[in-house]
Each structure stands twice: as C-alpha cells, then as structure tokens.
Amino acid sequence: MKKSTPAQWAIRIVIYIIGLFFLALGVAFAVNSNLGVSPVTSLPYVVSLISGTALSTCVIVVYGSYIVLQILILRKEFRIINLTQIIFSAIFGYFTDFTKWLLGDFTLPTYAGQLVMLAISIVIVALGVFLYIEVDLVPMPMEGLTLSIAKKVGKPFHNVKIVVDCTAVAVGILLSFVCLHGLEGIREGTIITAIVVGKVVAVFKKLLQSKVQKLCFGAAGPVPQEVQDMEALEGADDGK
C-alpha cells in the first residue's frame, strides 16, 4: 500500500466508497433487468432468495467466507490490513439494499430494454471496479480471493478470475436448483457480464487512470499494488 498525505488518504477512501456505490448501483440495474446478476453478486443473491434475508446481510456473510479462504490460502502472507475488507463489504452490502430501493421497480419493457439495462449495469459495475482498484486500499473479497489464488498458482489474474467467477456462479446455480427448484437470479446476463466487465474496466483505465492517480497520489502517482501484482503474474506467465 502506497504512502499518502492525510488529504490524499481521505480522497482515496472517498473514491473507494464511491466505487462501491457504483458497483452496488450496477447490481441494482442487473437485478431489475431480469437477465441475471453479475458473478460477484450471484451467490449472495441466490442465498438471499433461499433464506429470505436481506441481500446486504448475505453479501457480508458470503464475502466473509471469501476472506477466510484468503487467510487459509496465503497464511503468513496474508496482510492484516486486508481484514478491513469486511468493513468495506458491510458498506457495499448496505449500498446494495439502498440502490435497490433507489431504483425501485424501474425496468424497461421488452427483451431489448432488458439488454439496455444490462449494458448500463455493466458500464456502472466496471466504473465501480476501476475506482476501488485504482486507489490502492484493499481489494474487495472476491478480487482478494482471486489475487490470492493467482499468487499461489502463478497464473495471470484475469485467467484465475474467470475460474473463480465461474465457480461462484456454479455454486449459485446448484443452490438455486436444490433449494428453489429452478434457476433464479442467474441467466445469460451473468455470463455476458463475466465476459465484458473486464474489457470495460480496461477502457476506464485508459481514459481515467492518470487523473485518478494524480488526485490520489500526486503528479507521480504509483500503480496500485493489486495492479502491480496482476501485471507481475501476467509477465511471469508470458515468459513461460
């Protein structure tokens, strides 16, 4: 984690939380599109439907399990600062309920309208992911788990993320069929989101990274640690 002045620390935290808000807003659009929620939220969403518990509570519980897995995988390499993931998970959980209330029952009619809402969801989710990664605080639990596995197996972050996302979706599908006797919350939009979000994040990175880094770290802003780790893993893979 990089050094900052107190003012820059405050800016980083604010931008991180704004990123979480956009991420939650994207989830709300995905839910209302009825084409399936994003892979990151698919498992908590299905658990919420099964248990009848608020999505925010299920987000905290499921994300907490991801943090436990990180500890088991990294052991002594696990950074204590990453325990703050549970705090940001709680904030994100609250945002998921708030943005769902904010959006209400708004939806666009016809399948074309649903696709438009899904596209809006993907853009907003990508913006949220870009913002909270760029400020170099802590990764959200699912990205933290992905990064932990990538470090241990020495594979590129984006390749491991596909596996982790697909595993979460598969568990969600299994629970949905077993407990709800049908497929709920996971549809073609879930797969589209898994494929496209990373590409949209790359677009935001190209357009906004220098501005965000200057705001958070000054003119010579560093590349976030998580991004450095991802690039190092990809570089190692390219050299094989």
Provide the residue-wise pLDDT of the chain in tens; the chain has 240 residues. Answer: 556 688 888 999 999 999 999 999 999 999 899 998 888 888 999 999 999 988 889 999 999 999 999 999 998 888 888 888 999 999 999 999 999 999 999 999 899 999 999 999 999 999 998 898 888 888 889 888 988 998 888 887 777 877 888 888 889 999 999 999 988 888 888 888 888 887 888 899 889 988 888 888 875 455 555 555 555 444 444 444
Question: DSSP characters for 56-99?
Answer: HHHHHHHHHHHHHHHHHHHGGGS-GGGGGHHHHHHHHHHHHHHH
Cα–Cα distance list, 28 to 137, 170, 171 (Å): 25, 21, 21
Q: What is the pTM of this model?
A: 0.81
Instruction: Look at residue 178 and tell me if it is in a domain.
Output: yes
Instruction: Look at residue 69 and tell me if it is in a domain.
Output: yes
Instruction: Look at residue 224 and tell me if it is in a domain.
Output: yes
Q: Decide if 125 contacts 15 (C-beta within 8 A).
A: no
Cα–Cα–Cα angle for 161, 167, 168, rounded to 5 degrees: 90
Give the domain range for residue 64: 6-238
Q: Decide if 57 contacts 90 (C-beta within 8 A).
A: no
Provide the number of structural domains found in the chain. 1
Instruction: Look at residue 1 and tell me if it is in a domain.
Output: no
Q: Decide if 60 contacts 92 (C-beta within 8 A).
A: no
Q: Which tokens sit at 112?
A: 């074309």
Instruction: Look at residue 16 and tell me if it is in a domain.
Output: yes
